[in-house]
Structure 1
Amino acid sequence: MSASSTAALPVIVIGAGPVGLAAAAHLTARGLTPLVLEAGPVAGSAVRAWAHVRLFSPWGEVIDPAAEKLLAPTGWTAPDPSAYPTGGDWADRYLQPLADALGERVRYGARVTGVSRAGRDRIVDADREAQPFVVHVAHADGRQELLSARAVLDASGTWSTPSPAGASGLPALGEEAAADRIAYRVPDLTDPAVRARYAGKRTAVIGTGASAFTALASLADLARAADGGGTRAVWVLRRGLTGSTYGGGAADQLPARGALGLAAKAAVEQGHADAVTGFRTESVERDGDRVVLVAEDGRRLDAVDELVVLTGLRPDLSFLSEVRLDLDERLQAPVELAPLIDPNQHSCGTVYPHGHRELAHPERDFYLVGMKSYGRAPTFLALTGYEQVRSVAAALSGDPAAADRVELALPETGVCGGSGLFDTPAPTVRQNKVGCCGTPAGGCDT
């Protein structure tokens, strides 16, 4: 196929979440034709799965500028930029209207099952970059479809692949057999059926990030409620409690993010949650309708009624086996991006400004963007994804100056000197005038 005919093909975007839809808006603004393929039935299907959870970023930081311009002629009214949406608010008041504004450029019930080059598996070099991408799609009605694209942006996220309870990264022994007692999402305690499942029960929460904080705070609220008598939480940490365990608190430039950590701290201090430290889960044993966690060192916790596993997310790379990716061996993030987001090194979740160059792979014009680009790193903010797709859209449109221009500043966590995510010693951190962790001011994330 000639270069001119390839250029006439659409840019396929995988996923109609916040970053995928923002990518479509930026591509449209650049005169390119996006085609967004969403596996779910509506825009933001993954976001809707945590509709009850409130974001720690306000509306003003979760709406993409190009998307806002696309929405303006439709009569859309921007929410109060200082208010904090829930996942449901974000999906209903922004993502779905944006998808509606994009119209036929968004297709639902379209799950991507494979990406490659036309007539070229990953082994073949000859004339590879002159060939369009081919994208295999399975539709909700059972149809199979083969689409061609000039470029592919994978914004499918990591929501569908949560990490297991096992500290080795593999499912703990017995974890799958205890699936009926395990949740891998923050429970929606506003749902009467879910509330009844946890009320008056003993629940173990494994994890140390914002999701774990949210779960602990929610369970503590339930314990204080009239219908929650006897509700208890056991907070299982793979490391010890330190000054940075609960985040930056009042020093966090995203106040709601800092408040999450403080709420988790209050749950422990007020006796609604017991913290168990240095516990690396090896197995999950059944005890009737309850489960028992067993650590690698042989410790056994008292039986719990429910287990909530919030140990992070990981990218699904199964449908990209024929695409030439250059991924970091630890994080599964693009190799040029990984050092900038590695939580082993960036003790306050520092995010350096980055765009198309750090996201590039040996497969030209293929990009992982949004949460998926971070692989297993837990440091992503929507602002980061919006900047990524702005840069990538500029690069695909032939505007290298705009693609290389930095247009990103992120709020600091207020925590330096240990990520709290891993058990490795915190690296020596140089403090200077440019901000936390010796990076440009505003460059810290969690």
Structure 2
Amino acid sequence: MNEVPVVVVGAGPVGLAAAADLLEQGLEPLVLERGEHAGAAVAQWGHVRLFSRWSELVAPAARRLLDGRGWRGPDDDAYPTGAQWAADYLRPLATALGDRVRFGVEVTGVARRGRDRVVDAGRDTEPLTVHVRTAGGEERITARALIDASGTWHTPNPLGGDGLPAAGERDAVDRITHHLPDLSDAQLRQRYAGRHVVVAGSGHSALTALIMFDELAAERPDTRITWLLRRGRLGDTFGGGVADQLPARGALGDRARAAVEAGRIAVETGFRTDVVERDGRGRLNVVTVDRRRVSDVDEVVAATGFRPDLSWLSEVRLDLDTTLQAPVRLAPLIDPNVHSCGTVYPHGAAELAHPEPGVYLAGMKSYGRAPTFLAMTGYEQVRSIAAELSGDTESARRVELTLPETGVCGGSGLLDEQADEQVGERPDEGAGGCCSAPAEKGAPAAR
């Protein structure tokens, strides 16, 4: 087993960080990426500026690897775009890893060698077999362990309020996008300018979209913006503002709030899409279960989040939460019905392990359907996993992460009646409330 690599799926920020950590632990990584370059998914939203600084976007082990090769990193206090993150960090990191990173390789399955998921014998002694597809055909790669850092970018949630595409949604794909359009592109800008644009979603991507279109409307006042929220009221949708320890994240919410309060953005709360109709002019009507509707829609940006693709993991034994599709020991720490981004307890290999020996989900994929993942979280995950795989259990269990608070204490997914029942019952943070670590974990973690 020591003679075969640890396979890492995905050459994004967390996958490449995993490879750097594995190397430091004396383990041989092999990163498989279906794109043609590192950070292929990041590049697809390259026009978007991150709300994390460079200092929070470079993994410690990766920095040490790059520094040893003369890398001159960007200004730690600057905020890169996705394109800059990919070009100035991820691609140099992949180059530093050399032939340990393979591109144009799609992972189609993974299994215990010679055993399907039903067979018990040999699961702790036989290696894994990773099935891949390349331009040259199919291959099988033997692995001592697998870290799935493939992310969720290619599996966005639908517009439909029940988790499935709304009636007519598939037929309206020419008018619906799940990615933030690059309005610096003249052709795309023309597509949205002077139109009725609907933004659906309540996360940071939705807030970013609202700001982008509000800026477009300042230039083209005939542009209309409607914001669809499944939540029954705005509540803490805008985040913690000045209380957010990531200032750019707080400012994002403040700018969206200002546009809404100024009346430049129409808001429809409690809007759970059931039907998307196309009228005789080719425009859309978006209709809820209770037959409320937003009419004369030209374009929809469905910033409704993402979900993991678990199809190629069907032959390994995963212990996933039935609600979030996240590792069952991690799920209570990230449940959006309970926690905001800033209340997640730092975690590592212990929370990410599965019944299948040596198989880990890391990065965005480890969060399942939970939102608001930070790169720093993923870096700590893979540091811990690499330590565990090397046999350094003490290091694997040691938390080496301080995450910035959001300034919001509480869940983002509660139904309104649940939230109302809990108003006035929220304990002080120092008394072990929602901003504290779970009781079995001991003292609250610094974030």
> Which segment is superposed worse, 412-421 or 147-156?
412-421
Q: What pairs with 1:17-166 in structure 2 (closer than 5 Å)?
A: 17-139=12-134, 141-166=135-160
Where in structure 1 are there 5+ consecutive unaligned residues?
Answer: 1-5
> Which segment is superposed worse, 412-421 or 22-31?
412-421
| Shift of residue 269, structure 1, vs aligned partner | 2.1
Deviation by residue 1:283-325 (Cα, 9 ceiling, x = unmatched): 1011132111000001121221001101110000010010100
Match 2:407 to one of 395, 414, 429: 414
Q: Tell me the residue number matched to 1:429.
A: 426
Q: What secondary structure, in the 3-state scheme, does the structure 2 residue paired with 1:177 have?
A: helix
Q: Tell me the residue number matched to 1:232.
A: 224
* Aligned CA distance change for structure 1 residues 273 and 76 (closer, same or farther; 3 Å): same
Task: Return the letter of the residue paired with 1:7.
Answer: N
| Shift of residue 423, structure 1, vs aligned partner | 4.8
Q: What secondary structure, in the 3-state scheme, does the structure 1 residue paired with 2:174 have?
A: helix
Q: What pairs with 1:342-421 in structure 2 (closer than 5 Å)?
A: 342-347=335-340, 349-419=342-412
Is residue 283 of structure 1 aligned with residue 275 of structure 2? yes
Q: What secondary structure, in the 3-state scheme, does the structure 2 residue paired with 1:389 have?
A: helix
**Distance in 2 of aligned mates of 1:101 and 1:107:** 13
Deviation by residue 1:243-290 (Cα, 9 ceiling, x = unmatched): 412111111110111111111112212332100111110010111321
> Which segment is superposed worse, 351-360 or 411-420?
411-420
State how many pairs are aligned: 435
Task: Return the letter of the residue paired with 1:351.
Answer: V
| Shift of residue 339, structure 1, vs aligned partner | 0.5
**Distance in 2 of aligned mates of 1:232 and 1:441:** 44
**Distance in 1 of aligned mates of 2:393 and 2:411:** 37
Q: Tell me the residue number matched to 1:3.
A: none
| Shift of residue 350, structure 1, vs aligned partner | 1.4
**Distance in 1 of aligned mates of 2:106 and 2:287:** 38
* Aligned CA distance change for structure 1 residues 107 and 424 (closer, same or farther; 3 Å): farther
**Distance in 2 of aligned mates of 1:309 and 1:211:** 10
Q: What secondary structure, in the 3-state scheme, does the structure 1 residue paired with 2:297 have?
A: coil
**Distance in 2 of aligned mates of 1:302 and 1:436:** 40
Q: Is the 8 A contact 1:202 1:304 kept in 2?
A: yes
Q: What secondary structure, in the 3-state scheme, does the structure 2 residue paired with 1:54 have?
A: coil
**Distance in 1 of aligned mates of 2:65 and 2:417:** 45
Task: Return the letter of the residue paired with 1:190.
Answer: S
**Distance in 1 of aligned mates of 2:417 and 2:405:** 22
Q: Is the 8 A contact 1:348 1:418 kept in 2?
A: no
Q: Is the 8 A contact 1:236 1:279 kept in 2?
A: yes
Q: What secondary structure, in the 3-state scheme, does the structure 2 residue paired with 1:438 have?
A: coil
* Aligned CA distance change for structure 1 residues 234 and 442 (closer, same or farther; 3 Å): farther
* Aligned CA distance change for structure 1 residues 107 and 289 (closer, same or farther; 3 Å): same
Q: Is the 8 A contact 2:32 2:101 kept in 1?
A: yes
Normalising by structure 2, report the TM-score: 0.95
Q: Is the 8 A contact 1:431 1:438 kept in 2?
A: no
Deviation by residue 1:180-213 (Cα, 9 ceiling, x = unmatched): 0000011111111111110111111110000000
| Shift of residue 438, structure 1, vs aligned partner | 3.0
Q: What secondary structure, in the 3-state scheme, does the structure 1 residue paired with 2:418 have?
A: coil
| Shift of residue 436, structure 1, vs aligned partner | 6.6
**Distance in 1 of aligned mates of 2:49 and 2:414:** 22
**Distance in 2 of aligned mates of 1:194 and 1:421:** 36
Q: Is the 8 A contact 1:22 1:64 kept in 2?
A: yes
Q: Is the 8 A contact 1:435 1:442 kept in 2?
A: no
Q: What secondary structure, in the 3-state scheme, does the structure 1 residue paired with 2:366 have?
A: helix
| Shift of residue 379, structure 1, vs aligned partner | 2.9
Match 2:322 to one of 315, 326, 329: 329
Q: What pairs with 1:181-220 in structure 2 (closer than 5 Å)?
A: 181-220=175-214
Task: Return the letter of the residue paired with 2:63.
Answer: E
Deviation by residue 1:376-421 (Cα, 9 ceiling, x = unmatched): 0003100100000000000000111111111011111111244257
**Distance in 2 of aligned mates of 1:73 and 1:349:** 33
**Distance in 2 of aligned mates of 1:21 and 1:348:** 23
Q: Is the 8 A contact 1:410 1:442 kept in 2?
A: yes
**Distance in 2 of aligned mates of 1:325 and 1:73:** 37
Q: Tell me the residue number matched to 1:247.
A: 239
Q: Tell me the residue number matched to 1:266.
A: 258
Task: Return the letter of the residue paired with 1:17.
Answer: G
**Distance in 1 of aligned mates of 2:317 and 2:413:** 33
Identical positions, percent = 62
Q: What secondary structure, in the 3-state scheme, does the structure 1 residue paired with 2:344 have?
A: coil
Aligned-residue Cα RMSD (Å) equals 1.5
